[in-house]
Amino acid sequence: MKKSISYIILSVCGLLMVIPFIWMITTSVKSQLEVNKGNVGFLPIEHYSTYEEAGKVYRITSVKVDGDSTFIHIFDENMNRIRSYEKVATSDIIEKKQVKLHFENYKEAFTKVPFKRYFINTLFVSSSVVFGVLITGSLAAYAFAIMRFKGRDFIFYLFISMMMVPQPVYLIPSYVLLNHLGWIDTYNALIIPWIANIFTIFLLRQQFKTIPDELFDAARIDGCGRFRTLWKLVLPLSKSVIVTAAIFGFIGSWNSFMWPLVMTDSPAIRVLQVGLSYFSQEASAQTSLLMAASTFSILPLVILFLFAQKQIIASFASSGLKG
Amino acid sequence: MKKKFDFGPYLYILPAAIIVIVFRLIPIILSFIVSFYDWTITGPGKFIGFENYIMMFHDGEFWQSMLNTFYLVIFVVPISLVLSLVFANFLNGIEKLKSLYRSIYFIPTVTSMVAISIVWKIIFNQQTGLVNFFLTKIGFDPMGWLAESRGIIDIFLSSLGMNFSGFIQNLSGGIGMNYNTLYLLLGGPSLALFCIIIVTIWKGLGYNTIIYLAGLQNIPKVYYEAADIDGAGKIRQFFKITWQLISPTTFYVLMMTTIVTFQVFSQIYLMTGPPVGGPLGTTKVIVYFLFDKGFGESNNLSYASAIALVLFGIILTLTLLQKRLEKKVHY
């Protein structure tokens, strides 16, 4: 009894959470004409008028109603207008509705702006960032976790305190700096400042610390140097945390918006989020195209999420627990 | 015998350190310096001391942005906190379909703010939006939503038949305060900003729920078993056990949500306008304000830096407060 209340509440609220996505998808396959007519419910139903003549049903549009008769345009099955301003009796016009899915919206949205290019750019930037973050992160975390050296804690806390600084704070001076380096509107601006992530260092350091000392001793006795120990012992033991860090890095990079918006301009290196944002301004009245573009732009991450949801949710949950 | 100095460890942290120093530390220091000059996008200007800060203090737009950000925080944080704790409690109580529900609540967290802002903007659209479609279906008048600059308190009281703007008019005459200022303060967030509040809560709810769920799973079952034996009801158990033991998590969620909400940008940039910042600037938040000053028409990088530093000050204070109070709430 108590359980069923939980399920009802969770279902109702869950529905509210996903309604925007459902509506996004159903609107993405509607014709713009229907949307503009105000048929914005969930079902992609199309309303249209027909006129029957000599046993054949034609699609029509009515132009002007004049008493009992209406002036209409008559179309063939390919929606080519075959006759114009035909005067017919209004009662002969039959309203029909049908479910029709306009998948061509996706193609239109995809080709209207170079989304393919944006996808490739985003994939390139996100992968590079993840790659860089894992390399710098494992090296630094290894030193912080295992080695003893002067200033270690000071440097570590300096890193951590940098993590607390929100992006908007260093956005402006970063622009000044990158401009000075001549990196504005290049991939460098999107990748290099992001190839070290303090959260990743923190995460990996926590993991590396859990590896028992005996294993390090054994490695030393076997004649493993520092780097070999990292490569052969530490990293293989930390696979799941590395995956976590990679997922975090990828999602963060894929979804980042403000930084690429400020640091890049030309369409050749534009990333998906910025491209989508410009598209939403250009095509602000074309609701169904916008919904199609939104759908395919979130699809890669939703697929990634569905495949690795346990890992992803566990990763995010662990971000809340202090190590 | 003195050991040879070992450079090894420093080589390991070097790559990360270069990035952190060049792209975090130096920009932050640069930010302080730039805020005392009058730099534009074209290059360095002259030293002008505290002028940017003084200008900010007298800038009505700055105060309106602060007020809007404040509205955003005081609505988003408590609502998100309560809802996520409720969801987490329900989720914690079930076994079947748990991971399905968890995923459903979590999807907004992994999707990009840009895409979902575009979707929500159309959902709130006056003519072709889903919300007005439903409102008119069930017999209400459609509303302006993102185009509506009136405050929600004004809208609510006016719908009850009260003359709110008349009341503000009288009051502003009475206490000698500017009508607009008084209206912004007492009218509450505009309906447009309220839409942003809804979207911001919706987006962050999944994350907070997951954090709470992790916290709830850490509470040993024996406490509840003991309470059951003592005959304590579920509601009593919630306040006496769950709420007490979950307080470190609550604290974390509270602080994180506050800090993140102070930095809201994408939804403002994409959902409101044109012009961005919403009707009568009622959705302009502090990060959008600094973005606009820095990269908009005026291109005043120095002024934008000064604004960024004020934001930094606020967030730093909150973080330090968190570190201070954290010790007190830990059990």
CATH number, residue B232: 1.10.3720.10
Name the DSSP class of B50: T
Whether A277 and B114 lie within 8 Å, measured CB to CB = yes
Residue A322: pLDDT over 60: no
pLDDT at A22: 94
Distance of residue B163 Cα from the nearest chain A Cα, in angstroms? 33
Alpha carbon distance A44, A31 (integer Å): 8
Residues, chain B, total?
331
Number of structural domains chain B divides into: 1
In a domain, B91, yes or no: yes
Whether B309 and A172 lie within 8 Å, measured CB to CB = no
pLDDT at B291: 92
Lowest mean pLDDT among B82-91, B220-229, B248-257, B319-328: B319-328
**Mean pLDDT over residues B236-258, rounded?**
87
pLDDT at B329: 61
Per the CB < 8 A criterion, the answer to whether B128 and A25 are in contact is: no
Whether B24 and A162 lie within 8 Å, measured CB to CB = yes
Residue B77: pLDDT over 90: yes
Q: Are strands A56-66 and A93-99 parallel, antiparallel or unpaired?
A: unpaired
Contact residues, chain B, for A167 at CB < 8 Å:
263
Whether B34 and A172 lie within 8 Å, measured CB to CB = yes
Alpha carbon distance B302, B306 (integer Å): 6
Alpha carbon distance B265, A258 (integer Å): 8
Name the DSSP class of B150: S
Buried b (16+ CB within 10 A) or exposed e, A106-115: bebbbeebeb
The minimal CB distance from B115 to the residues A13, A169, A276 is found for A276
Whether B214 and A320 lie within 8 Å, measured CB to CB = yes
Q: What is the pLDDT of residues A79-116, one digit of tens each?
A: 788 888 888 888 888 888 888 888 999 999 998 889 99
Structure tokens at B2: 């003195």
What percent of chain A has pLDDT above 90? 35
pLDDT at A321: 52
Whether B118 and A38 lie within 8 Å, measured CB to CB = no
Name the DSSP class of A269: G
Residue A2 touches chain B, beta carbons under 8 Å: yes
Residue A4 touches chain B, beta carbons under 8 Å: no
In a domain, B110, yes or no: yes
Structure tokens at A119: 């996808």
Contact residues, chain B, for A169 at CB < 8 Å:
28, 31, 308-309, 311-312, 315
Options 1.10.1270.20, 1.10.3720.10, 3.40.640.10, 3.30.230.10; CATH for A107-318 is 1.10.3720.10
Range(s) of the domain holding residue B120: 59-151+189-329
Give the mutation candidate from A33, A159, A172 for the B interface (greatest B CB count, under 10 A).
Answer: A172
Residue A308 touches chain B, beta carbons under 8 Å: no
The minimal CB distance from B26 to the residues A14, A177, A226 is found for A177
What are the structural domain ranges in chain A?
A: 45-99, 107-318
pLDDT at B2: 57
The minimal CB distance from A172 to the residues B87, B266, B305 is found for B305
Distance of residue B210 Cα from the nearest chain A Cα, in angstroms? 6
Q: What order of strands is seen across the sheet that includes strand A93-99? A: A81-89, A69-75, A56-66, A45-53, A93-99
Quote the Cα angle for A198-A202-A203, to 5°. Answer: 115
Residue A159: pLDDT over 50: yes
In a domain, B13, yes or no: no
What percent of chain B has pLDDT above 70? 97
In a domain, B231, yes or no: yes
Per the CB < 8 A criterion, the answer to whether B131 and B124 are in contact is: yes
pLDDT at B157: 92
Q: What is the pLDDT of residues A10-69, one digit of tens each?
A: 899 999 999 999 999 999 998 888 888 878 888 888 878 888 877 788 888 878 888 888
Chain B nearest-CA residue for A137: B16
pLDDT at A323: 35
In a domain, B45, yes or no: no
Chain B nearest-CA residue for A176: B41
Lowest mean pLDDT among A37-46, A129-138, A165-174, B78-87: A37-46
Q: How much is the mean pLDDT over chain B?
A: 88
In a domain, B124, yes or no: yes
